Amino acid sequence: MIQQIKHWAESNREAIEATYRQLHELAEVSWKETETTAYLCKQLEDIGVGYQTFADQTGVVAVWEGKSAGPTIGVRADIDALWQNVDGVWKANHSCGHDAHMTMVLDAVRCLKESGFQPKGRLKIIFQPAEETGKGALSLIDKGVIDDIDYLLGIHVRPIQELSFGTASAGIHHGAVAMIRGRITGMQAHAARPNLGINVVDSLSAVIAAVNAVKPDPTVPTSAKVTKVRAGGDNLNIIPDEAEFGIDLRAQTNEAMDDLVDKVTRAALAAGSANGANVEIEVTARLNAAVPNPAMEQMVGVAIKDVLGDDALIAPPVTPGGEDFHFYATRKTHIAATMVGLGTDLAPGLHHPQMKFNLASLASGVAILAAAVVKLQDQ
């Protein structure tokens, strides 16, 4: 089967790149991926697998039923683009490679169909909206879409700093991300009589110092920093009574993030209110870190070696970036999941408006996903 898969990917290189170009042109932002969803449905019809869309949101889930008993294998691609300034024009732009991920998942299914593969259990193809908001995976978890999945595969193109063209990794060890927003309320007064007021700028200053002084576990990479402050009006002779701040937190493990959120929250509440101000805090975003699955990485690693050769398998990159794929296995702990990292010579970087990568890597990604599905099914 592996030879058939490699041959299919090699001889369909142009068609794969054409799919990519069409999806690239369709770029739509999170939760607005309607044309993209319609395109994916059309392609799934073409391939010949039944699918389900959602009345209340974008995205599509297809199911290829097998004829005998076996595991349910899920393959997931994210489908949203980013809204950014590209050469002076604000537009939806696929600078995170989600157009490449959709292409590789679609054509991996097409490749398996045309190579005579028959799932033993069930193959579930998941096109997930709104990854960039950190909410897309959670919406599909809430809908029960992944309840029956035993093995779950994802894929993400990697920047050249992590993996070069012709290589791949059987995991991506993303870190955890959290964002905190805070509001401070003080008391106005004439600036000549500051003793009669409560100055929220003093509170902000104390919050910044306290956040920078938090002591997380030094053996785990973490960072906590205030990334936004706002206070005061046009009259510089008034003690201001209202302020906002924002904090970005990163941690390489979910345990370290729990500890960091707890410590930063307590530090900001205590320091900001030391002068009598009132501080309110809300954790507005949270992404789980990857929990590496060595058995999955081993199996998918074999598929990578089969497709690209023994020297092409690289250890999973450790990256402080976040990815909502990791909610699937951390919220549904029966799922064995891993995300393939694909070397593409991508530069200057993910989310850069001029992001470019070697399109020849698409065919490799197709073959790796198809080969990994075959491997997982035979477990």
Binding site for Zn ion (CB under 5 A): 96
**Token code pair at residue 376:** 């997982």
Nearest Cα to Cα of residue 339 among 300, 303, 310: 300
Name the minimum Å distance from CB 98 to Zn ion: 6
Min dist CB 341 to Zn ion, Å, is 12
DSSP 326-359: HHHHHHSTT-EEEEEEEEEEEBS-TT-TT-B--T
Q: Phi and psi at residue 50, in whole multiples of 5°?
A: -70, 150
In a 3-state reduction of DSSP, which class is residue 227?
strand
Nearer to Zn ion, 91 or 305 (CB): 91
Q: How far is the CB of 50 from Zn ion (least distance, A)?
A: 27
Is the Cβ of residue 127 or residue 245 nearer to Zn ion in the bound state?
127
Shortest reach from residue 27's CB to Zn ion, in Å: 13
Measured from the CB atom, is 100 or 200 closer to Zn ion?
100
Task: Closer to Zn ion by CB, 96 or 153: give it.
Answer: 96
Q: How far is the CB of 325 from Zn ion (least distance, A)?
A: 9
Nearer to Zn ion, 81 or 204 (CB): 81
Rounded Cα distance, 379 and 81, in Å: 35
Within the chain, residue ranges assigned H as helices are 2-11, 13-25, 34-47, 98-114, 136-142, 200-212, 254-272, 294-308, 326-331, 361-377
Quote the least distance from Cβ 351 to Zn ion, whole Å.
6
Q: Tokens 């096109």 map to which residue?
A: 127
Query: Which residue, 96 or 346, has its beta carbon nearer to Zn ion?
Result: 96
